[in-house]
Copies of this chain bind each other. A is one copy, B any other.
Amino acid sequence: MAPPRVPAGDLSKHEAAYRTLRQRILEGRYGPGYRLVLSGLARDLEVSPVPIREAIRRLEAEGLVTFERNVGARVATLTDDAWEELVEMLALLDGYAVRQAQPMLTPEILAEAEQINAALRRQLTGGIDNEAVMALHRRFHRLIYSRAANTYLVDALDQVWDRIDASRVLVSLYPAKRLASAVDEHDELLQRLRQERVNPSDLEQFARWHNLNAAVTIRNARGR
Contacts and interface: CB of A to CB of B under 8 A. Distances in A.
Interface of A: 6, 12, 50, 53-54, 57-58, 60-62, 69, 82, 85-86, 88-89, 92-93, 96, 149-153, 156
Interface of A is mostly: helix
A85 B153 contact: yes
Nearest to A60: B58
**This chain's copy number in the assembly:** 2
Given A53-B54, A54-B53, A58-B57, A92 B85 contact: no
A153 B160 CA distance: 11
B85 A96 contact: no
B153 A156 contact: no
Question: Max chain B CB contacts within 10 Å: which of A12, A50, A53, A149?
Answer: A53
B57 A152 contact: no
Contacts of A50: 50
B89 A150 contact: yes
Given A86-B152, A89-B156, 18 more contacts: A6-B69, A50-B50, A57-B57, A57-B61, A58-B61, A61-B61, A82-B152, A85-B149, A85-B151, A85-B153, A88-B152, A89-B150, A89-B152, A92-B92, A92-B93, A92-B96, A92-B153, A156-B156
Contacts of A58: 57-58, 60-61
A6 B82 CA distance: 27
